[in-house]
Amino acid sequence: MSRFRVEFYECLYARADALFELTDAVLCADGPVKTLVELSLAVEHRRGHGALYAALDRGWLESARLRRTLAGLPPPPRAADGRIVLAVDVSNWLRPDAPMP
């Protein structure tokens, strides 16, 4: 995964740092993201909301390089019968000190 993150970052050109943090914020969100402001408040996005809008407006990535990076990923493991094996953790993480809604 760390190798993929490095290769993904290298696909980003203009405003690469802000786009990378924006990607982290989207992937680490607790649920569906409804607004860009919500993303700018995520811990993973360490910049202000102005940087978020500038990254979306002026940032870009090389899509052909991203396609090659994704295509070069190793296939997921397979079971004995040939089916792809995927693992998902759906357990709840208790946070007793979290504020009540």
pLDDT single digits (tens) 60-87: 889 999 999 888 888 778 888 988 887 7
What mean pLDDT is reported for the chain? 82
- Taking the whole predicted model, whether its pTM rises above 0.75 is answered as no
Phi, psi of 3 (to 5 degrees): -65, -40
Strand partners of residue 78: 84
Let me know if residue 93 belongs to a domain: no
Let me know if residue 84 belongs to a domain: no
Let me know if residue 88 belongs to a domain: no
Let me know if residue 86 belongs to a domain: no
Let me know if residue 82 belongs to a domain: no
Please report the pLDDT score of residue 95 as a whole number: 64
Please report the pLDDT score of residue 94 as a whole number: 66
Q: What angle do CA 88, 93, 99 make, to 5 degrees?
A: 140
**Domain total of the chain:** 1
Let me know if residue 34 belongs to a domain: yes
pLDDT single digits (tens) 43-53: 787 888 788 88
